[in-house]
Amino acid sequence: MAEEVTARDPFEGLDLDNHELLLVGSVFLRVRELADSITTSGGIRVNVCARVQDAVDEAIRTCPTSILIDLRGTGLDGLGILEAFKRSPEVGAVPIILLGDQASERIREAAFGRGLTDFLIEPVSVGEIVARVRIHSTSYLNIIKRNRTATAYESLQVELRAANRSLEEARRQLEQRHRNPDDLQWQLRVSGLMQIGIELNQIQDFHTLMDRILSEARHLLRSEAGTIFLREADSLRFAFFHNEALAQRTATGDTPHVSSFRVPITDRSLAGWVCLTGQPLHIPDCYRIPQQAPYRFDSSFDQLLGYRTCSMVAMPLKNQSGRILGVIELINPRSQDGRTVIGFTAEDIRLLEHFASIATVAIERTNLAEESVLRMIRMAEIRDPSETAPHVERVAGYATVLFEEWARRRGLEGAAFERQRDRLRTAAKLHDVGKVGVPDSILKKPGRLTPEEFDEVKKHTAIGGDLFTHDPSDFDEAAREVALLHHEKWDGNGYPGFDDGGTRRGRKGEEIPLFARIVGLADVFDALSTARCYKEAWNEQRVLELIQSESHKHFDPELVEILFAQLDSIRRVRDAHPEEPPRA
For residue 316, cis peptide bond before it (omega within 30 degrees of 0): no
pLDDT at 7 over 70: no
Domains of the chain (ranges, CATH numbers): 20-150 (3.40.50.2300), 196-364 (3.30.450.40), 384-576 (1.10.3210.10)
For residue 578, cis peptide bond before it (omega within 30 degrees of 0): no
Q: Of 554, 449, 539, whose CA–CA distance to 491 is shortest?
A: 554
For residue 371, the tally of other CB atoms under 10 A from its CB is 11
Distance CA 356, CA 362 (A): 10
Q: Name the least confident of 135-144, 184-193, 263-272.
A: 184-193
Check residues 130 and 440 and name the one with the higher pLDDT: 130
Check residues 261 and 162 and name the one with the higher pLDDT: 261
- For 171-225, the pLDDT digits (tens) are 555 455 444 445 545 555 555 666 677 777 777 777 788 888 999 999 889 999 9
Helix, coil or strand: residue 489: coil
pLDDT at 565 over 90: yes
Check residues 567 and 162 and name the one with the higher pLDDT: 567
% pLDDT > 70, the chain: 80
Question: Cβ(255)–Cβ(246) under 8 Å?
Answer: yes
- Is the pTM higher than 0.85? The answer reads no
Distance CA 351, CA 177 (A): 16
Query: Which range, 367-381, 428-442, 558-572, has the best average confidence (pLDDT)?
Result: 558-572
Q: Of 214, 430, 426, 481, whose CA–CA distance to 327 is shortest?
A: 214
Q: Of 513, 514, 509, whose CA–CA distance to 551 is shortest?
A: 509
Query: Which range, 12-16, 19-23, 266-270, 440-444, has the best average confidence (pLDDT)?
Result: 266-270
Tell me, what DSSP letter sits at residue 188?
H
pLDDT bracket for residue 583 (50, 70, 90): very low
pLDDT at 521 over 90: yes
Distance CA 325, CA 318 (A): 6
Average pLDDT, the chain: 81
Write the DSSP string, 112-169.
HHTT--EEEESS--HHHHHHHHHHHHHHHHHHHHH-TT--HHHHHHHHHHHHHHHHHH
Query: Which range, 37-46, 452-461, 515-524, has the best average confidence (pLDDT)?
Result: 515-524
pLDDT bracket for residue 474 (50, 70, 90): low
Check residues 259 and 113 and name the one with the higher pLDDT: 113
